[in-house]
Amino acid sequence: MILDLHSQLRIEKLTLGREGAPLVVIDNFIADPERLVKKAATAPFASGGQYYPGIRVKAPPSYEHFLVTHLPELVGEYFGLTSPSLRLSMCHYSLVTTPPAELSLLQRLPHVDSLAPEGLATIHYLFRENHGGTAFYRHRSTGYEYLDRERGPVYSRALDSECAGPDRPASEYINGDTALFEEIARAEGVFNRMLVYRRNSLHSGSIDRAFVPDPNPRTGRLSINCFVDPA
């Protein structure tokens, strides 16, 4: 499968909250995104593991090649990437399929994917329905908007204590301000939109209470999620 950049690609470079972590929003990313949806419709999805609230399957190798070829020129300077070469440590189709009542505690909270500041994450939305987007958060008691190796233990101790008390998150997807977290930014899930952000920024899918899990890649909350590292 040969992939090309969309002729009407648009890039918006933003910063998050008080600490100013970078966020890039790319609209009209792929020239023919429907081909990716069709590929997903025949893919053998399986459990996404204990952290992801749904099912996953590896994205096509052509997509991985496309991403590492084009991301440096599109966002490399903004994220301070000094190497022109990138590698993907993860690149999966993802479908959110877990009902709110079945979410684990960790799935009800914002999270980071890594404590290393150089790692990036991408999410490429491939759904047209109103299935929500991605939100970024500040932990109220520590003020942290991102975590690193120094902040990680402090954050974990504070969060463990808070989740043992009356502010423990309810059995639902986080979708905006809570007693423990303040939403600092939100990007809506728009078909063929890609987000690029640092993996150590606190974030979560923004999914409202009306969301009905759907395992069909053609109609469900389908995305491609990747972890990007310097080669």
- Which structural domain range is residue 163 located in? 10-230
pLDDT given for residue 230 in this prediction: 85
Residue at 19 is within a domain = yes
Rounded Cα–Cα distance for residues 82 and 48 (Å): 32
Residue at 97 is within a domain = yes
Residue at 141 is within a domain = yes
Q: What is the pLDDT of residues 170-186, one digit of tens each?
A: 999 999 999 999 999 99
| CATH number for 109 | 2.60.120
Q: Name which of 143, 151, 81 is nearest 118 in CA terms.
A: 81
Q: Name which of 61, 14, 23 is nearest 39 in CA terms.
A: 61
pLDDT given for residue 104 in this prediction: 96
Q: What percent of the chain lies above the pLDDT cut of 70?
A: 100
Q: Residue 29: pLDDT band by 50, 70, 90 thresholds?
A: very high
Amino acid at 134: T
Residue at 182 is within a domain = yes
Rounded Cα–Cα distance for residues 23 and 185 (Å): 10
Residue at 3 is within a domain = no
Residue at 1 is within a domain = no
Rounded Cα–Cα distance for residues 136 and 134 (Å): 7
CB atoms near residue 130 (< 10 Å): 11
Instruction: Write the DSSP string, 163-196.
Output: HTSTTPPPSS---S--SSEEEEEEE---TT-EEE
Residue at 5 is within a domain = no
Domain count across the chain: 1
Per DSSP, the three-state class of 230 is strand
Rounded Cα–Cα distance for residues 102 and 124 (Å): 25
Q: What is the pLDDT of residues 7-18, one digit of tens each?
A: 999 999 999 999
Q: Residue 83: pLDDT band by 50, 70, 90 thresholds?
A: confident
Q: Give the distance, in angstroms, between the CA of residue 229 and the centroid of all CA atoms in the same chain.
A: 15
Residue at 174 is within a domain = yes
Q: Name which of 225, 223, 216 is nearest 42 in CA terms.
A: 216
pLDDT given for residue 85 in this prediction: 83
Q: What is the pLDDT of residues 187-220, one digit of tens each?
A: 999 999 999 999 999 999 999 988 999 999 999 9
